[in-house]
């Protein structure tokens, strides 16, 4: 789920851990703005489940008018079907870019401050107990599988996420000199061209944040202006 951004694995894990327990965990972590967690893969079938005869603009209108409570309740029913009916997922139906945009807009949401607060806790190595921290290292720090990264980084973990319209990343690092960095950015309503440009430059951007003090100062100045 973390390394390969597999949404199917995410939903499987939600089922194993229990969504309510995870929603309670949001509160205990002190997250102020995170929306409630629900089954985001099942959400791709809401049109098929609730409006099987609707298509195009008609389906788009009905999905937009659906309350979030009704939307999430539908995902719960769909999730149970996906667990037991192997034929249900074979035909997703009516999933054009207009419908994908509605799905994307209704995905879990939060702020960069919330996400930075989480990765600061991980990067501090003091918030979680030793057993939990060890597991977090194993799951989050796959960038250190690259020998080149291990030459200058003591710890580094990240999680990205994207749709056809959204690009997000949360990253933390501690270098060999003990310098700690936490970074998160969320971008929405992107065009295909904007997405391609960002995907081509994001690694370079993150590396400069981690290694170039002058660049970090410039970024801080521009953000504060």
Spatial distance between the Cα atoms of 142 and 157, rounded to a whole number of angstroms: 7
Q: What is the pLDDT of residue 69?
A: 96
Q: Is the Cβ–Cβ distance between 44 and 95 less than 8 Å?
A: yes
pLDDT at 182 over 70: yes
State whether 217 and 116 are in the same domain. yes
pLDDT at 1 over 80: no
pLDDT at 136 over 90: yes
State whether 155 and 71 are in the same domain. no
Q: What is the pLDDT of residue 94?
A: 65
Report which of 101, 82, 103, 100 is spatially closest to residue 91, judged by C-alpha positions.
82
Spatial distance between the Cα atoms of 205 and 161, rounded to a whole number of angstroms: 17
pLDDT at 22 over 70: yes
Across the chain, what does the average pLDDT equal?
A: 93
State whether 87 and 145 are in the same domain. no
User: Which runs of E-coded beta strand occur in the chain?
Assistant: 153-162, 167-175, 180-187
pLDDT for 58-80, tens place per residue? 999 999 999 999 999 999 999 99
In angstroms, how far apart are the furthest CA atoms of the chain?
A: 61
Q: What is the pLDDT of residue 100?
A: 94
Answer yes or no: is 92 within a domain: yes
Q: Is the Cβ–Cβ distance between 79 and 18 less than 8 Å?
A: no
The reported pTM is 0.90
State whether 30 and 128 are in the same domain. no
Among 52, 71, 105, the domain boundary falls at 105
Among 84, 105, 126, the domain boundary falls at 105
The total domain count for the chain is: 2
Structural domain that includes position 144: 112-224
pLDDT band, very low/low/confident/very high, at 224 (cuts 50, 70, 90) = confident
pLDDT for 74-105, tens place per residue? 999 999 999 899 888 888 766 889 999 999 99
Residue predicted with more confidence, 163 or 95: 163
State whether 207 and 157 are in the same domain. yes
State whether 80 and 116 are in the same domain. no
Answer yes or no: is 35 within a domain: yes
Among 105, 130, 154, the domain boundary falls at 105
Residue predicted with more confidence, 91 or 206: 206
Task: Compute the average pLDDT of residues 104-123.
Answer: 96
Q: Which residues of 101-112 are buried (b: 16+ CB within 10 A; e: fewer)?
A: bbbbebeeebee
Spatial distance between the Cα atoms of 77 and 222, rounded to a whole number of angstroms: 47
């Amino acid at each position: 789920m973390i390394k390969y951004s597999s949404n199917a694995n995410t939903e499987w894990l939600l089922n194993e851990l229990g969504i309510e327990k995870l929603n309670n965990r949001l509160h205990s972590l002190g997250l102020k703005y995170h929306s409630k967690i629900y089954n985001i893969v099942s959400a791709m079938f809401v049109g098929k489940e609730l409006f099987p005869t609707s298509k195009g603009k008609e389906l788009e209108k009905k999905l937009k008018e659906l309350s979030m409570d009704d939307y999430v309740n539908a995902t719960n029913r769909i999730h149970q079907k996906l667990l037991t009916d192997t034929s249900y997922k074979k035909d997703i139906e009516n999933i054009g870019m207009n419908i994908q945009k509605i799905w994307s807009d209704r995905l879990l949401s939060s702020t960069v401050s919330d996400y930075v607060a989480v990765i600061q806790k991980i990067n501090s190595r003091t918030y979680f107990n030793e057993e939990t921290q060890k597991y977090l290292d194993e799951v989050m720090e796959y960038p250190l599988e690259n020998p080149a990264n291990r030459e200058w980084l003591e710890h580094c973990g990240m999680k990205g996420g994207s749709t056809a319209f959204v690009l997000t990343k949360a990253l933390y690092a501690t270098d060999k000199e003990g310098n700690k960095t936490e970074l998160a950015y969320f971008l929405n309503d992107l065009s295909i061209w904007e997405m391609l440009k960002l995907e081509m430059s994001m690694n370079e951007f993150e590396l400069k944040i981690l290694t170039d003090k002058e660049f970090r100062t410039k970024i801080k100045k521009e953000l504060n202006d």
